[in-house]
Every structure is written in structure tokens, then in C-alpha cells.
Amino acid sequence: MTTILLLLGLFLLGLRLTGVQSIGVCYGLNGNNLPSKQDVINLYKRNGIQRMRIYGPDPEVLNALKGTNIELLVDVPNESIQDVATNPSAAANWVQNNIKKYSPAVKFRYISVGNEVPVGSAVARYVGPAMEKIQKAIASAGLQNQIKVSTSILTGLVTNSYPPSHGSFSNEAKPFIKPIINFLVQNNAPLLVNVYPYFSYIGSRNTIPLDYALFTSQKTVVQDGKLGYQNLFDAMLDGHYSALEKEGGSKVNIVVSETGWPSDGNPPAASSANAGTYYKNVIRHVMSGKGTPKKPGGGIETYLFAMFDENQKRGEETEKHFGLFYPNQQPKYGISFK
């Protein structure tokens, strides 16, 4: 009996550790009332948040992360991509100054070459070459087994995603995404995808039930052959897995590099009640080890957007209200990361 209890305890501990490690939080800096960067790192530690995404290599943040064991996803900002791709020394300098300089005291996990680069933009054609250059620089630094290079995309690149098995990359997106998929396959790296059921919901309120977007549906909403979907998050992920398969990326894993729900700015959909429900349920779901209907089993590595409300974010008013914490470091919702 003692042996059985011990094995059960170790199994449950393993599940808990696997789940906790699947959650990260994005740390944006677009606010004039945010805590000091050291205080932010301390807030991550107090709440047991073991992974972080930042949108550029901020030296003050990187110094504060030293010795914390918080794993980091760091972006090559969109405005730096062309230089990294075309300047012969830019990638090596970027890796030297922003990665190698801080490693191993800072635990880098991923480098995202750009965030939501529009496929029709002038910079889009430089994303793939910049990824190649950063990968080469990472290998030269001896860090290729520790750090994976990828890029973070919008879900809008996938069309025909209803049902999820029909998901495919749009004709406009294919010239952009195909070389990236080939790179990810060659380097055993994941595709980073920003997954927002909120935006899908507000764009199709007449056809998408709110409970399907908030993980509160008690029944299957979308039947796709033998696979049933009770939440939009899984359907969006599996639509991307289907799209990857159609372009030779069946072995590419997906990391959810952003997901969230705003608490204000577009009532009634954007509300504290809905946001709190979404964050609590998405945490529970990705930590459950269930995976998605198409990819069952295992946690879904996910980064919640975002740590704070950011009062200087551009765009719609909702963009300022995705925070899990107020700028005074008080939690907006009763969420546990431990």
C-alpha cells in the first residue's frame, strides 16, 4: 500500500509540475504607470509564474531575470527584422548582445522573429531569412539545443477553419508561411500562434455562442467527423494543426504565444466577469493534460496576455484592458498559477 501511495503521489506531482510549466504570461511595457521592472519580476516569482514573454530584449528586464529560473520567450522586434536578415553581422550582434551576454543566468526558451507580421507588409519577406540568420547565430553561440527560433503569427492567416479539419493557410499567406514551416520542421521548433477566441467571438456573435468562447459550454458545439469541440480555443488550435499538415508541417507543434480576454472597452463582451471566466478556464484547460481533440494528451504551452493593463497601448480601447494585474500589482481576478 505504501508503494502504491508513493507512486500515486509522484504521478500527481508530475502532473502538477507539467501543468504549471505550461503557463506563461506576456509582459508588455506600453504604460506610464507600471511597476519597476524588478518589482514585476518579483511579482512573477510570488505568483509562481515560471515563463515570460517580452517583446524586445530590454536590458533592465533581462538583468532582473538573472538567477530567477523564469524561462523566457523574447522577440526580435518587427522593426529589426529587415536589418537582421540583410546586414551580414546584425544577427550575430543581436544574439551576442541580447542572448549570450545574459545566458545562462537568464533561461532563454524561444526567440520569436517578429510578432504578427502582416503578410502583405514590406517586412514579411525578411522574416524567414532573419530566422535562418538568428538560428545560425544561436548555433555559433552553442545555444541551439537550448533555444528554439520561431515567429508569432495571427490566427487570421488560416482560412476555412470551420470545421477545424478544413483549416488551411490562405493563398496570400502561403508564400510567407511555407518557408517558415520548412524551417520549423528542419529545426524541430514550434510555430507560435496568438490565439484569441474573444476576437473571433465579437466578429461572429450571431454564429459563435459566448459559452463556446469562454469554455463554459456543457455540450459539443462543433462536430468534426469523430472529433467534438466544446470550446473555440481548441477549434482554433486544431484549425492551425490542419493547416500545418496541408503544408508539410504535421510534426510541428504549436505554442500559444498569446491568449486573453479584455475586461473593458467593448461591453458587454469585454467585461471583468467574462475576462475572469476566460483566464481561469483557459489556465485549467491547458494545464489539464487533455490537449485538443486532434492532438490529445499533454499540456498546451500557453502565454497569457498580459501581465498588466497598459494605458498607452494603441488601437481599440480594449487593447488597454487585457491585464491580469492592475498597475498597482493587485490582481484583477482570483487566478492561481501554482
* Mean pLDDT across 43-66: 97
d(CA 125, CA 20): 36
- The whole-angstrom separation of Cα 33 and Cα 308 is 10
Examine residue 34 and state whether it is found in any structural domain, yes or no: yes
Residue 282 lies in a domain: yes
Range of the domain at 116: 18-325
| Residue 14 pLDDT exceeds 70 | no
pLDDT, position 8: 39
Rounded to a whole number of angstroms, the CA Rg of the chain reads 20
Q: Is residue 333 part of a domain?
A: no
What does the pLDDT read at residue 125? Answer: 97
- Give ∠ CA 83-89-93 in degrees, rounded to 5: 90
Q: Residue 299 — pLDDT band, cuts 50, 70, 90?
A: confident
Residues tagged active-site: 116, 258
Residue 227 located in a structural domain = yes
Average pLDDT over all residues of the chain: 93
Q: Give me the pLDDT at residue 4, please.
A: 41
Domain count, the chain: 1
- At 194, give phi and psi (nearest 5°): -90, 115
Specify whether the CB–CB gap between 222 and 161 falls below 8 A.
no
Local structure of residue 306 (DSSP, 8 states)? -
Confidence of residue 41 (pLDDT cuts 50, 70, 90): very high
pTM of the predicted model as reported, rounded to 2 decimal places: 0.93
Residue type present at position 196: Y
Give tens-digit pLDDT for 154-184: 999 999 889 999 999 999 999 999 999 999 9
Q: What percent of the chain has pLDDT over 70?
A: 93
Q: Is the pLDDT of residue 222 over 50?
A: yes
What mean pLDDT do residues 275-284 have?
Answer: 97
Q: What is the pLDDT of residues 147-156, one digit of tens each?
A: 999 999 999 9
pLDDT of 155 reads 93
What is the distance between the alpha carbons of residues 10 and 196, in angstroms, rounded to a whole number? 35
pLDDT band at 337 (very low <50, low <70, confident <90, very high): confident
Q: Residue 79 — φ and ψ, nearest 5°?
A: -70, -10
Q: Is residue 309 part of a domain?
A: yes
What's the mean pLDDT in 313-338? Answer: 94
Give the 3-state secondary structure of residue 292. Answer: coil
CATH number at residue 200: 3.20.20.80
Please check whether residue 132 lies inside any domain of the structure. yes
Specify if 76 maps to a domain.
yes
Q: In angstroms, rounded to a whole number, what is the distance separating the alpha carbons of residues 318 and 330? A: 20
> The cell 522574416 sits on which residue?
127
Residue 21, pLDDT > 80, answer no
pLDDT at residue 13 tops 70:
no
> Tell me, what's the pLDDT at 200?
96
Instruction: Provide the b/e sequence for 175-201 (b: ≥16 CB within 10 Å).
Output: ebbebbbebbbebebbbbbbbbbbbbb
Provide the pLDDT for residue 15.
40
Is residue 11 included in any domain, yes or no? Answer: no
Cα–Cα nearest to 290, from 9, 13, 22 = 22
- Give percent above pLDDT 90 in the chain: 90
3-state helix, strand, coil split of the chain in percent (to 5) is 40, 15, 40
